[in-house]
Amino acid sequence: MVFFSSTVRNAPTRSSRILQKLRSRVYLDRPFSKRGIKTLTVNSGSTTLKYSLYDVTRRAGASALDTELIASGLVDKVGASENGSITHNRSLVVQGEPIPTHTAGFNMLLNVLKEKENIDTSEIECVGHRVVHGGSSFSKPTVLTSDVLDEIRQLSSLAPLHNPPAVSGIEASKIAFPSATQVAVFDTAFHATMPPSSYRYAIPKNLYEDHGIRRYGFHGTSYKYVMEATADYLGKKSSNLNLIIMHLGGGASMCCIKNGQSIDTTMGLTPLEGLVMATRSGDIDPGIYDYMLKHGYTEDEVYTTLNKESGLLGLSGISSDMRAIKGKALKGDSDCLMAREVFAERW
């Protein structure tokens, strides 16, 4: 059975997936209370803060939780040269103001929550953060201590587009919500069940043992959400499901699930491996790296080319957005036609 997880409107948000992960780590250890726990979930990007605020109540007796979405939104253009904005519950509430840092973004977010939802900082008891790369150290939601944050920083070289802004968001959140429990949810955790035959590369063993070079996989919060939603829809237990799920967005990957567990996925040591993506090349001959270096490219230029200038953007020459590429392809643009064919061929 094949299912698709998309980043288009009305698809499950990463915030709701983060909340799902937090259930077992934070809420179910608490005693029953009729008072809801105000919980903020955050996905910190390099220039954005996506957020959702929930009221979570534990029912008496069982492991069930009631969750109510209070608000959600986007702090946009964090650290960008142009002025930023905040969209709250799909309404533009702040526009034309500079947002120089994630800390500034969180402070503006606090003001919006106070003004629009009458929520004070002290009322938020838990903040959940999406972190892309947890390496082999983190296979479940983890409370963010200083040691944990240091490990996440050290993993930034494996997810340079994702982990650094997550660290910035976590640091800013700790300042904004000093009394809240801060928890990290890792994209890589879902793939901890992969067997060695799936995650080992055919390279010398010491590179795996000494440097942790192996396949980790990503988009785990998305895959877990889709799997559990599919189980609910079919009236089955997740442990009885065998699925192939495709996560299609700016970053794209596939995952093979057997008996409710990830056994293989297309992304690897970093989110660069696998399918053709918006600006990432996906699978290419590793010899291309050496070839580019020997032909005058610096290491940084190779990194930028493969992560930010390749994929659909590189193939089409006009855009990383499939909608724009499709429009041009329908008008006969040969590069856009090729981009669509290569994208589909690599599935």
Residue 189 clears pLDDT 70, i.e. is over it: yes
Q: What pLDDT score does 250 carry?
A: 86
Query: pLDDT tens-digit profile of 234-248?
Result: 999 999 999 999 999
Any long-range contacts for 239-245 (C-beta under 8 Å, 24+ apart)? 241/1, 242/1, 243/1, 243/2, 243/3, 244/1, 244/2, 244/3, 245/2, 245/3, 245/4, 245/5
Residue 233 clears pLDDT 80, i.e. is over it: yes
Residue 193 clears pLDDT 60, i.e. is over it: yes
Which CATH architecture group holds 9-196? 2-Layer Sandwich (3.30)
The active-site residue out of 55, 187, 210, 321 is: 187
Q: What pLDDT score does 249 carry?
A: 86
Residue 12 per-residue DSSP state: P
Q: What pLDDT score does 79 carry?
A: 85
Range scoring the smallest mean pLDDT among 27-31, 97-101, 174-178, 226-230? 27-31
- Summarize the confidence of residues 169-178 as an average pLDDT: 91
Q: What pLDDT score does 66 carry?
A: 83
Q: What pLDDT score does 114 carry?
A: 92
Report the percent of the chain where pLDDT is more than 70: 88
Query: Do 325 and 318 contact (CB within 8 A), yes or no?
Result: yes
Q: What pLDDT score does 92 carry?
A: 95
Q: Is 187 a catalytic residue?
A: yes
Q: What pLDDT score does 228 carry?
A: 95
Range scoring the smallest mean pLDDT among 51-60, 135-144, 251-260, 282-291? 51-60
Per-residue confidence band for 32, with pLDDT thresholds at 50, 70 and 90: very low
The domain ranges of the chain are: 9-196, 276-347
Q: What pLDDT score does 9 carry?
A: 38
Of the CA atoms within 13 Å of residue 112, those in its CB half-sphere come to 25
CA distance 283 to 346: 9
Query: Do 250 and 42 contact (CB within 8 A), yes or no?
Result: no
Q: What pLDDT score does 161 carry?
A: 78
Query: What's CA 132's distance to the chain center, in Å?
Result: 5
Residue 10 clears pLDDT 80, i.e. is over it: no
More confident residue, 161 or 339: 339
- Summarize the confidence of residues 93-106 as an average pLDDT: 91
Per-residue confidence band for 31, with pLDDT thresholds at 50, 70 and 90: very low
Residue 29 clears pLDDT 70, i.e. is over it: no
- Summarize the confidence of residues 214-220 as an average pLDDT: 94
